[in-house]
Structure 1
């Protein structure tokens, strides 16, 4: 069982699907079933059209068997190094790039990145109408102001998750309390990253006032219903995902509206990081939904 996230410039947003190892065969089969525009001209490892980059979301990579056909084609495409070949032959460890038609789904969560049809224009990020709302009417045109906003967003998220964890613990919902503590830890790491990017700048001098945000609430704070004592783990994950998506859209909106190149570049870095956070939470939600569904079966 695995969460497989497909990502490509020809897709408006990443799509995460739940695949059963060995049940649906290769990544090409999974993509075809879910209407993912992953090219597959030959399906037998001869053309290389289904070349993709595999990113493992977990720390452990499962051993694989790389066929001579796939190895040779990856060499021809310049997508495998000598070190990767040796590691695959000696330790059965996977290289960075694979052919989707030769990659069988395994019990590991992965992100599948592919270029797609180059004749099609790349699509911009999928942004809901809430994006401009969560940026408010503020135009951020200095690096100091942007970092002040970023620190405020991440710090508020961390504090809120920690408060929710304490509330859940008090009412005896230990499973969700553990989850919120984990999410709070993630936000603390994001906060440290934002402060690290500030370097010698002091982002606390540019912290935006509460009225800069719609409803006086920063984007990544979980919805008010996240404090419900009867909250299930799946609902807690969905509340967290909603907040992460708002944070992602906030940074997208800043990147699209700022007139300062340095701010745009920095905002795009945060967009990428938030997109990764969204992918992880989407994978968690998908897995939890599958677990709940099959527990009831």
Structure 2
């Protein structure tokens, strides 16, 4: 039996090594044919293309490296804002789905059922072409102005592309977070609900102060997966013309022809981002578990 398992493992390893060797050989042959070779010297050359949205000063005469940096910052901006807003929306919808109020439960359930059935790409196109491009110029409360050119919020000018991507990611991810929160809340013993009600605490206050803290250990691991999904789904921003890292990388690869190096940089960038998200959530999870253990 051991010899058979060893032979199977050796066979699988041989197949994988053979496939890897085949891929490397094809890569070498294609590089020789194109005459490009492998290298990153092109990063210092002028990019030659404009970006519709920049977090820092940028001009077409700047290098490809700086253009990719701007795209990376644009991605970070929409991902960070999306994580915060999706969490708020998801927690609110999840709590509504577990509420004793029938109308809140129906509202939360309808939101989750609708959003989870529609692909994210279609939702992004809806928010861009239907919702935001069709906005009239309307002031809201003197501090906010809505228009099809973007949203002015407390002195910040948010482009239509950024708003469409942010709202799409928030609404889509919030529906999945709502289900995670609902499952975590339902995992809390019903006696805890009866306890805060017997103390005279309101439903909302009891859920925030008593139920949610105990539900966090069940919520956080699955929440991490949704955060990672939001970061990866942000690459769909190219569909509405938002200049994120993927869009800038796509333009760079098209112009330079260095697809391997371009995709390698793209993969490493998202790997770093996902490691940061995973590491941060792991620290948060450990802190929550430690606090719960001390309270017991």
TM range (shorter): under 0.3
Relative to the length of structure 1, the TM-score reads 0.27
Structure 2 length normalisation: TM-score? Answer: 0.27
Structure number with the higher helix fraction is 2
